[in-house]
Structure 1
Amino acid sequence: MNFEFDAQTEEMRETITDFARERLAGPEDFDPGEFRRRWRLVGEQGALGTVVPGEYGGLGQGAVTAAAVMEALGYGCTDTGFVFSLGAHVFACLTPIVEFGTAEQKRQWLPPLCSGEYVAAHAITEPEAGSDALSMRTRAERRGDVYVLNGGKSFTTNSPVADVFVVQAATRPGGGCFGLTSFVVEAGTPGLTVGRHYQKVGLRGSPTADVRFDECRVPASQMLGPEGDGFGVFRTSMAWERTCLFALYLGVMRRVLETSVAYAGERQQFGSAIGGFQAVSHRVVDMALRLEAARLLLYRAAWGLDRGSTDEVMPALAKLAVSEAAVQAGLDAVQIQGGLGILHGQAEAALRDALPARIFSGTNEIQKNNIARALGLGEKARPQAHPSRRGKN
C-alpha cells in the first residue's frame, strides 16, 4: 500500500494549487464573461483534459490524478461553485464521451472541451425524476436519421453558458435500465431552450438553470453509445463524479481547517487563545479526523476506478463521507469563529457551498439505499461482499 502521489501527480497538484490561488478568484456575483475568462485559463493549464487521451488534447491521466487536481482546485480557489462547474464538465460530460463516444464524436467534441473553448452540461434531472432517474419523462423518438426530443430538465449545471449538452432521454418508455439513451446536443439547436439562472444558497459561482426540449431534432450520429445504453452511460459518469468531483471538497476542508487553526491560535478570550480551550481544540481535532478519513475513502474509490473496478459501493461511501464531513466542517468553522462566522467570509461560504453536496450526484439517502442493497439488505437484494473483504477488484 502506497499513500503517496507519484512525482508527476505531486508536481501537478502543487502547480494547480498556485495557479488556482493566483488566477481563479471570482466576483461576488456570477458574471458570464468572467466565468468564461477563467474557464479558458483552466483549459490552458490542462486541468479540463485530465482524463482525456493525449490524441484529443488531454493529459491522459487516471482517476487518482484527476482527484488530486480537483483537490488542488478546491484548496486554491475560494470560488467553490466555479470549481464545481469544472468538475461537472469533466466527469459528467467529458468522461462519458471518452468512454462511449465514437472516434468521430471524440475528434469533434473533446479538443474544444479540453481547451476551455467549450463548456458542457449534463441534462438528466427532471422535476419528477431526480433520484428516480428511470422515471424521466423526456422522450427521444426516432424519425429517420434524427431523434426528436421533447421534455424538460431541471438543476442543469452549466446550462446557462453551455455550448454542448449530454442529454439523457427515454427512447423506450417503461423499458427500465434499457429504455434510456444518451445524446450530445449542441447549444443553439432549434427546440433547445435554457431558462433563467437559479439563485442558490450555495455554489453561487456555478450557473444552473432549467432546460427545455420542444421538437428538438438531433442527428442520430450524435447518439452517445448504442440506443438503450443511456443508463450505462449515466452510471459510468456518476461513478467518476461521486469520486473525483467530490475531491474538491477535500481541498475546501483543508483550507477551512487551516484557517480555523489559525483563528483559534490568535483569538483571545479570558486572557488566552481559544485554541487552548478543550471545547475548541477537540472540535478542530474532529475536523481533521473527518477530513483524513474522507480523503482515504475517496482515493480508495479513485484507485478502484483506475483499475477498472465496477464496484459502486466505494464511490457511494466516498460521496457520503466527503459530503457529510464538508457540511460539518462548515458548521464547526462557523462555531469556532462565533459572531464572525455568520458574517460574509470563508466559514459561512464553506457551509453554504457544502450543503448541496448532500443532494447532487444522488442524495445521501439514496447512496445509503444503494449501499445497503449491495450489502444484501432489503427486498430482492443479492448479497455482495464489502470491498474491504474482497480480493483484487
Structure 2
Amino acid sequence: MDFDLSPETEEMRDMVVRFAQRELAPPAAFDAVDFRRRWLAAGRQGLVGSSVPTAYGGSGLDAESAAAMMEALGFGCDDTGFAFSIAAHLFAAVMPIVEFGTPEQKKTWLPALGSGEWIAAHCITEPEAGSDALRLRTRATRDGDGYRLSGSKCFTTNAPVADLFIVQAATDPDGGFFGLTTFIVEAGTPGLSVGQRYEKVGLRGSPMADVHFDDCLVPATQVLGAEGSGAAVFSCSMKWERTCLFAAYLGAMKRVLDSTVAHVREREQFGTPIGAFQAVSHRVVDMMVRHESARLLLYKAARGLADGTGDEIGPALAKIAVSEAAVQLGLDAVQLRGALGILDGEAEALLRDALPARIFSGTNEIQKNNVARVLGLNPRRRGTGRL
C-alpha cells in the first residue's frame, strides 16, 4: 500500500493552498457579489471544474486527486462554507452530467459549469422526503415534448446564486427506485422560483434556500439519463459527494489542529506551557488520531471510486468518520483555548461548520443503515429508504 500522493498531486495541493489563502478570504458577512467574484477566481484556477473531463474544459481529475484538491481548499480557505458550495456544485450537480449526460448536454452545460461562469445546485430534499429520498412529492408529468414540474425543494445549497438546477422528481410516484427522473433546469425558466436565503448555524458562507416549481415546463431533451433512472443518478452523485466533499473538512481540521498545537505550546499556566500537562497533550494526540484515521478512510474510499470498484461501504464509512471527527475536533479545539475558544475564531467556526456534516449527504444514522444493508443485516424493503 502506498499512502503518499503523487508528486504532481502534492504540487497541485500546494498551489491550491496558496491560491485559497491569497484569493478566497471571506467578507465579514455573506455577500452575493463577493461570492460570485471568488467563484470566478476559483473557476479560473480550475477548482470548480476539477473533475470535469478535459474535453469540456475541466482538469479531468479522478476521485483521489479531486479529494486532494478539496482537502487543500479546506486547509487554505477560512470559509469552509465556500469550499462546501464548490463541492456541492461539482460532486452533486456537475458530476451527474459528466456521468449520465448525453454528448449534447455535456457540450451545452459543462464548459460554463467548469469555468466558474455558471453555478449549479442539486435539488433533492423536500419537507417530507429527507432520509426517505424515494418518497418525493415533486411531480414531473409528461406534456407533449416536455415535462411539467410541480413541487418544492428545501435546504438546497447554492440555490440563491445558481444558474442551473439538477432536479429530482417523481415521474411514477409508486415506482420506487425506478419512479424518479432527473431534470436539468436553467435559472429563469418560467415556473421556477427561489426562496429567501437561510440563516444557518454553520457553513454561513454557503448560500441555501428553498426552490419552488409551479407548472415548470422542461423539455424532454433536459432529462438527465433516461426516465426512471433518477435514483441511479442520485446514488452516483452521493458516492462522489460522500467521499470528495468531506475532504474539505479534513483540510479545515488540519488547519485548526495545527493552530491548536501552536496555542498549547505558547499558552502558559502555573509557569509552564499548557501543552506540558498530560490532560492537554493527550487531548491533542486524540485529535490527531481522529484526523489521521478519518483521512485514511476517506482516501481509501476515493481510491475505490477512482478505480470504479462500486464499493458502497467505503464512502459511507468515510462520511461517518470525517463528520464525527470534525465535530469532536472542534469541541476539543474550543476546550483547549478556554475562554478564547468561545470567541469568534477558527475553533468555534470549525465546530459550527462541522455540525451539519453529520446530517447532509444522508445522516450518519442512514449511513450506518446503508452499511448494515450491504452486510445483509437489515435488507431494505423495496422502494423505501435513503440511497
What TM-score does the superposition give when structure 2 sets the normalisation length?
0.98
| CA displacement at 1:329 relative to structure 2 | 0.6
Q: How does 1:10-89 map to 2 (within 5 A)?
A: 10-89=10-89
Task: Name the structure 1 match of 2:361.
Answer: 361
CA distance in 2, matches of 1:27, 1:46: 22
Matched, 1:249 2:249: yes
CA distance in 2, matches of 1:181, 1:309: 25
Shift of the alpha carbon at 1:8?
Answer: 1.5
Q: Mean alpha-carbon deviation: is it higher for 330-339 or for 4-13?
A: 4-13
Query: Counterpart of 2:48 in 1: which secondary structure?
Result: helix
Q: CA deviation at 1:183?
A: 0.5
1:187 aligns with 2:183: no
Residue 380 (structure 1) shift: 6.0
Aligned to 2:136: 136
Give the corresponding residue for 1:286: 286
2-structure distance, mates of 1:312, 1:217: 35
Q: In structure 1, what is the Cα distance between the partners aligned to 2:50 and 2:3?
A: 21
Aligned residues between the structures: 381
- Residue 332 of structure 1 is matched in structure 2 by 332
Measured in 1, the distance between the counterparts of 2:338 and 2:212 equals 44
State the Cα RMSD in Å. Answer: 0.8
User: What's the offset of the Cα at 1:366?
Assistant: 0.5
**Cα deviation 1:193-223 (Å, max 9, x = unaligned):** 0000000000000000000000000000000
Query: Which segments of structure 1 move beyond 4 Å, counting only runs of 4 or more?
Result: none
**What is aligned with 2:276?**
276
Q: How does 1:148-167 map to 2 (within 5 A)?
A: 148-167=148-167
Partners of 1:146 and 1:374 lie apart in 2 by 37
Equivalent residue number for residue 267 of structure 1: 267
Shift in alpha-carbon separation, 1:379–1:121, aligned structure 2, 3 A: closer
Q: d(CA) in 2 for partners of 1:77 and 1:307? A: 29
Please report how far the alpha carbon of residue 2 of structure 1 lies from its aligned counterpart in structure 2 after TM superposition: 1.0
- Tell me the secondary structure at the aligned position of residue 209 of structure 1: strand
SS for the counterpart of 1:315 is: helix
Alpha-carbon contact 2:125-2:155 (below 8 Å) kept: yes
Pairwise CA distance, 1:4: 1.1
* Deviation by residue 1:93-146 (Cα, 9 ceiling, x = unmatched): 110000000001001100000110000000000000001000110000011101
Q: What letter corresponds to residue 81 of structure 2 in structure 1? A: G
Judge conservation of contact 2:49–2:116 (CA < 8 Å) in 1: no
Q: What corresponds to 1:349 in structure 2?
A: 349
Trace 1:169-208 onto structure 2 (pairs within 5 A): 169-208=169-208
Q: Distance in 2 between matches of 1:380 and 1:163?
A: 36
Distance 1:174 1:339 in 2: 55
CA distance in 2, matches of 1:253, 1:287: 9
Percent of aligned positions with the same letter in both sequences? 67
Task: Determine the C-alpha separation between the residues in 2 that align with 1:69 and 1:288.
Answer: 21
Structure 1 residue 379 displacement after superposition? 4.7
Check whether the contact 2:49–2:90 (CA below 8 A) recurs between aligned residues: yes
Q: Deviations over 1:65-119 (max 9, x none)?
A: 0000000000000000000000000000110000000001001100000110000
Structure 1 residues 100-139: aligned runs within 5 Å: 100-139=100-139
CA distance in 1, matches of 2:55, 2:137: 37
